[in-house]
Amino acid sequence: MALDQQVAADSRLHAADQTRPDQRWQYFLSLLLPLEKVVQDRDSHPEGDVLYHSLQVFELARERCPWDEDLLLAALLHDVGKGIDPRDHVNTGLAVLRGRVSERVLWLIENHGLAQRVLDGTAGARARRRLGTADDAEALDLLAACDREGRLPGRKVCSPEDALRFLQDLKSENSD
Most confident of 18-22, 103-107, 148-152: 103-107
Q: Which residues contact 27 (CB under 8 A, 6 or more apart)?
A: 10, 13, 17, 100
Q: What is the pLDDT of residues 66-115, one digit of tens each?
A: 999 999 999 999 999 999 998 899 999 999 999 999 999 999 999 988 77
Phi, psi of 39 (to 5 degrees): -95, 140
Q: What is the pLDDT of residue 8?
A: 47
Q: What percent of the chain has pLDDT over 90?
A: 58
Which whole number is the average pLDDT over 19-46?
Answer: 83
Which whole number is the average pLDDT over 121-136?
Answer: 68
Asked if pLDDT for residue 13 goes beyond 80, the answer is no
Q: Can you give the residue ranges of every domain in the chain?
A: 50-175
Instruction: Please give the mean pLDDT across all residues of the chain.
Output: 84
Other C-beta atoms lying within 10 Å of the C-beta of residue 101: 18
- CATH number of the domain at 50-175, out of 1.10.1060.10, 3.30.470.10, 1.10.3210.10, 3.20.20.70? 1.10.3210.10
* pLDDT band with cut points at 50, 70 and 90 for residue 140: very high
Asked whether the whole model's pTM tops 0.85, one would answer no
